[in-house]
Amino acid sequence: MLSRTPHRQAGITLVEIAITVAIFGILLSAAVPSYQQWIQNMQIRGATESLQSGLQRARTEALKRNQNVTFWLVTSASSKTLDSNCAPAANGTGWVVSRFDPSNKCDLDPSETVTPQIIDKQPVLGNNPRASLDITPDDASSVTFNGLGQIVQKDTPITRIDIQGASSSSDDRKLRLVLASGGMIKLCDPQISASGDSRRC
């Protein structure tokens, strides 16, 4: 006669599931703030690289064409696109590199003949909504480079752009673009104070 031993069923119990979910929830709540900070810092970096690219494009095109080329900060009806309602503004959400004022014409494609002769454009904050810009001087919206790559402008040109988080948290990464009158564009970190560090402003 065979003896029957009770079988233990394979699987997990409700208690084990509850413990796993609780542990996962604790880990997730600890990771979410770090992840959000990482996302914001990446968007600050993305906005900075876009602005630096636009400024360098304007200077390079001025050198190449031996003509004045301007980098404009522009506002638009939507931060995600540059449309026919755009206007130069220090609180711009995008940029346009062109030969002439792009007001109300930011929706046009790049062209060598159609005014304002747009060379390049990008909606900076539409792609990086967690970043914000602080322009110096605070009423400046453009900077013009001449055929020698130098800054030439009758009105006040942009001399500095600070890029920071939209939330202005002390943990945010902050970056700065500094424009010298000779046309050089320097990317630096205002939070670095060590005198020997090349990233220092």
**pLDDT per residue as tens digits for the range 27-66:** 666 655 677 788 888 899 999 999 999 999 999 999 999 9
CB count in 10 Å sphere of residue 133 = 19
- The Cα 79–Cα 94 span in angstroms is 7
Verify cis geometry, omega within 30 degrees of 0, for the bond prior to 116: yes
Which residue has tokens 């968007």? 43
% of the chain exceeding 90 in pLDDT: 58
Span 68-86, mean pLDDT?
91
List, in order, residues 6 or more apart from 15 with CB less than 8 Å away.
none
pLDDT digits (tens, 9 = 90+) for 156-185: 999 999 999 877 666 678 999 999 989 999
- The Cα 7–Cα 123 span in angstroms is 66
Residue among 177, 145, 132 at smallest CA distance from 159: 177
Q: What is the mean pLDDT of the chain?
A: 87
- Residues 53-83 as b or e (16 or more Cβ within 10 Å = b): ebbebbbebbbeeeebbbbbbbbbeebeebb
Look at 116 and 191; give whichever has higher pLDDT: 116
Look at 64 and 13; give whichever has higher pLDDT: 64
Q: How confident is residue 1, by pLDDT bands cut at 50, 70 and 90?
A: low
What local confidence, expressed as pLDDT, does residue 4 receive?
60
Span 104-112, mean pLDDT?
95
Q: 181: alpha, beta or left, given left = phi > 0 and alpha = psi -120 to 50?
A: alpha
pLDDT digits (tens, 9 = 90+) for 125-134: 888 888 899 9
pLDDT digits (tens, 9 = 90+) for 60-74: 999 999 999 999 999
What local confidence, expressed as pLDDT, does residue 33 receive?
62
What local confidence, expressed as pLDDT, does residue 35 receive?
75
Look at 10 and 78; give whichever has higher pLDDT: 78
What local confidence, expressed as pLDDT, does residue 153 receive?
83
What local confidence, expressed as pLDDT, does residue 39 receive?
85
CB count in 10 Å sphere of residue 185 = 19
Q: What is the pTM of this model?
A: 0.81
Helix (H) or strand (E) holding 30: helix 14-65
Partner residues linked to 161 by β-bridges: 135, 177
Look at 72 and 24; give whichever has higher pLDDT: 72
